[in-house]
């Protein structure tokens, strides 16, 4: 089973946002939490957790960082 199938649909929305943010080059991904906070109205802690989970998801399968909604 691929990592894409394991990630919940809810988290996948965050992860696709982070993939697009990474691709845009607007920020280093270590600085991505404020972008998540703003886009999804999360707390700072929630945003940091989401970014950390995204980083782990990409670490486990580097090709995940190139996925977009059309690939799912």
Q: From first to last of its 72 residues, what are the pLDDT tens digits of the chain? A: 444 445 688 899 999 999 999 999 999 999 999 999 999 999 999 999 999 999 999 999 888 878 776 655
Residue 1 lies in a domain: no
User: CA-CA distance, 69 to 47, in Å (whole number)?
Assistant: 20
Residue 3 lies in a domain: no
**Sign of the Cα pseudo-torsion (35, 40, 43, 48, in order):** negative
Phi, psi of 27 (to 5 degrees): -150, 155
Distances (CA, A) of 61 to 45, 51, 53, 54, 67: 25, 15, 13, 11, 11
- pLDDT given at position 72: 54
Count of structural domains within the chain: 1
Both tokens assigned to 27: 């920020």
Residue 18 lies in a domain: yes
48 lies in which domain range?
8-67
């Amino acid at each position: 089973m691929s990592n894409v199938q394991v990630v919940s649909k809810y988290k996948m929305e965050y992860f696709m946002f982070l993939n697009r943010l990474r691709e845009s080059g607007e920020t280093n991904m270590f600085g991505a939490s404020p972008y998540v906070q703003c886009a999804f109205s999360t707390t700072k802690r929630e945003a940091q957790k989401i970014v950390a989970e995204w980083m782990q998801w990409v670490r486990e399968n580097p090709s995940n960082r190139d996925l977009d909604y059309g690939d799912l």
